[in-house]
Amino acid sequence: MDLTQQRIVVTGGAGFLGRYVQEQLRACGVPPGCLLVPRIEDYDLTDPQNVERMYADMAPTVVIHLAAEVGGIGANRANPGRYFYANLAMGMHLIEHARRAGVAKFVQIGTICAYPKLTPVPFKEQDLWNGYPEETNAPYGIAKKALLVMLQAYRQQYGLNGIYLLPVNLYGPGDNFDPRSSHVIPALIRKFVQAKRRGDKQVAAWGTGSATREFLYVDDCARGIVLATREYDEPEPVNLGAGFEITIRELAEKIRRLVGFEGELVWDTSKPDGQPRRCLDTSRAAAHFGFRAQVGFDEGLRRTVDWYCLTHPGEA
């Protein structure tokens, strides 16, 4: 697909990932007037009438659906109903009205939380349905996974070209550092930086530290999404990842060293670890549209810590 000839709506385009996707699309030559971002103040995407109005106003030929209500383990435990409803409703209405509007391509961003709790590592796309997701984020994961089924059904019945991408945990400059909803990397960076500034003797982290995660630098993910939008047209879901695994304990130690915090790191084992392991098989993305992560984890982590310290100088 020649993206320079399309009118592209990016839902969630003002968010963390969305800003990087916009940059990648502009770098591909998409004209400014053809790159459109519906703002939540103007369009409530959980409301079908608002979604219909958005399609009428913006007349997209391609939709990249990034918008989501999402957070870390604590936020998922506090908002299971809202996360299920909001994410299912947004996707469902956007896909249905894409069909009605004759959109040429719909790109749905899924979630690693959709995989079963005990998926063999590395996660392969064909394992997506082999069990129930980890309980703390199952409502969010199942809502997103239902949209894969919807896209496949709409492809079969209506010919809608919908693709489904499964990014692993993202991180990078501009991430969400709100302690009420942040994921593990920004949460730990914020804790260590503030503890160092206050002169605290210790920092507490959730769980045992034994769970593993894989992390993808946000600009790499944005590049993968744009590559898939341009090159991939199949119904099967595709993982986007960096192909490595690190324990939360090792991650916390890396961040502590980067920040320069010299106090004690303690683990609050009354809090959950979440899914025991996460690491993706990324061979399908490499084979179908040539995607491989480029930013090394240590370099990406350093950039993220530096960005936070630079943009939050007074917080303690």
- Cβ pair 123, 279 in contact under 8 A: yes
Residues 251 and 167 in one domain: no
CA distance 30 to 8: 8
Q: Is 194 within a domain?
A: yes
Strand partners, 171: 217
Contacts of 227 by beta carbon, 8 Å cutoff, 6+ apart: 289, 290, 291
Residue with tokens 């409502």, as numbered in its chain = 139
Question: 109 and 163: one domain?
Answer: yes
- 3-class secondary structure per residue, 135-170: HHHHHHHHHHHHHHHHHHHHHHHHCCCEEEEEECEE
Looking at the fold, whether 74 and 145 belong to one and the same domain comes out as: yes
Q: Is 117 helix (H, G, I), strand (E, B) or coil?
A: coil
Identity of the amino acid at 42: D
Note whether residue 129 is domain-resident. Answer: yes
Buried b (16+ CB within 10 A) or exposed e, 180-197: ebbbbbbbbbbbbbbbbb
In Å, how far are 76, 144, 193, 198 from 251, measured between CA atoms? 21, 27, 15, 22
- List C-alpha distances in Å: 82 to 79, 88, 277: 5, 10, 26
Indicate whether 117 and 160 sit together in one domain.
yes
Task: Just list the catalytic residues.
Answer: 140
Among 179-183, 248-252, 299-303, where is mean pLDDT lowest? Answer: 179-183
Identify whether the C-beta of residue 169 lies closer than 8 Å to the C-beta of residue 213: yes
Is there a domain that residue 13 lies in?
yes
Res 316: pLDDT: 62
Instruction: Residue 204: give its domain's CATH number.
Output: 3.90.25.10
Round to whole Å and give the CA distance between 265 and 45: 41
Asked if residue 15 is part of any domain, the answer here is yes
For residue 179, is it within any domain? Answer: no
Same domain, 20 and 123: yes
H/E stretch holding 54: helix 48-58
Please report the pLDDT score of residue 315 as a whole number.
Answer: 72
Identify the sign of the CA torsion 45, 47, 49, 52: positive
Which among 66, 1, 4, 3 is positioned nearest to 38, based on CA atoms?
66
Residue-wise pLDDT for 86-99, tens only, equals 999 999 999 999 99
pLDDT for the residue 180: 84
* Residue 260: inside a domain: yes
Residue 316 inside a domain? The answer is no
Helix, strand, coil shares of the chain as percentages rounded to 5?
45, 15, 35
pTM to 2 decimals? Answer: 0.94
Beta bridge partners of 169: 215
Q: What is the pLDDT of residues 26-35, one digit of tens each?
A: 999 999 999 9
What are the tens digits of pLDDT across the range 194-211?
999 999 999 999 999 999
262 and 150 housed in the same domain: no
Print the domain residue range for 90: 3-173+214-245+277-295
Q: What is the mean pLDDT of residues 124-148?
A: 96
Tell me: do 197 and 145 sit in the same domain: no
Whether residues 219 and 205 fall in one domain: no
Structural domains of the chain, count: 2
**pLDDT number for residue 72:** 78
| 153 and 202, same domain (yes or no) | no
* Mean pLDDT for the stretch of residues 154-169: 98
Residue 141 and residue 255 in one domain? no
pLDDT reading at 275 higher than 90? no
Domain CATH for 166: 3.40.50.720
CA pseudo-torsion sign 46, 168, 239, 272: negative
Using alpha carbons only, how large is the chain's radius of gyration in Å? 19
In a domain, residue 300? The reply is: no
Q: Are residues 74 and 188 located together in one domain of the fold?
A: no
Looking at the fold, whether 229 and 267 belong to one and the same domain comes out as no
